[in-house]
Structure 1
């Protein structure tokens, strides 16, 4: 990567990879586990309790996806265990023990580009396998790979054109949003704009010496 260490690396729970990342990237990179891999065996380990549309599954994913602070997560997780009598469940014990590697409160200040899993890289591998036959010759591989690059470049040009259209529309917007459209593509910019709009609904006030976010009514 041009001599620059990645900010974040998402992997599965491979012990060898974890060891290698610590040795090679030292303090420059944050290593997180793919949330999808961590929770992959939840249906098998928890059985009928994890059934689709069941109350536990709803509550479980609410704790995982909505708790933003360490204190919130800890209290919500403890309440979840008590509610469903899972204090002695081995899967819940293992998952909680490694929470700092995958849970949102410990990763919220780490840049992940809204990714919490390795699904995007796996998707790229899947696309390449569809374009390049399994037993293709080297010549065939190069031809098909160049075709894939061409198609991706065309999509990027289309996205860049859409971004410029949005940039013209938002020429009198907030300074931070104007900067965002200069560096983000259209879809990413729209996600960023949603967060900016949400932020305008709150104010920060100091109550008893503690900063708190209060929603405007």
Structure 2
């Protein structure tokens, strides 16, 4: 064999050895390494999810007494009967405390009329557990006193959910003279005749929902 043939055979053997090494050793090891890396990432992700779940469960265990306390507090705000008259009396008392006048209080039972506007919101309550009753209250007074009235409703001993509210400024009454600006730019209104107390009189329309329970609450759990 000539020297050139020997060199050619050597190069061919080297190429064959590199090919065999790549196909039967390097590539399988590379695939195994990639698979192990993916499995490692998956295991780490699962461990993180387990730790997050355990942390969430621990927080729930810590908050469980507070949640039960809030639940009991909410239950006491939902009487077994609608008690409409007591609710109206509370609204009147709140209006007196806030120095506003209740012009009207319209009552509509959403449990008997589920197709009224907003009735679809309470479809889930038709299972006999809670009965919603919608009240529309119209009150008049200045804005500060009306806000105090809303605060009284929010602090009600029973659960009252304000679904909607709207403000409307009343027309100036007879005897009300618009404020005249002073040199410093500040004006002071003058009131005569039937003008009311300080502040512009506004009308507040509140749509709120109260609930009553038709089943006996289980507080032993």
Which structure has the highest strand share of the two? 2
TM-score (norm 1): 0.21
Which structure has the highest helix share of the two? 1
Bigger CA radius of gyration: 2
TM-score (norm 2): 0.21
Relative contact order (C-alpha < 8 Å, sep 6+): which is higher? 2
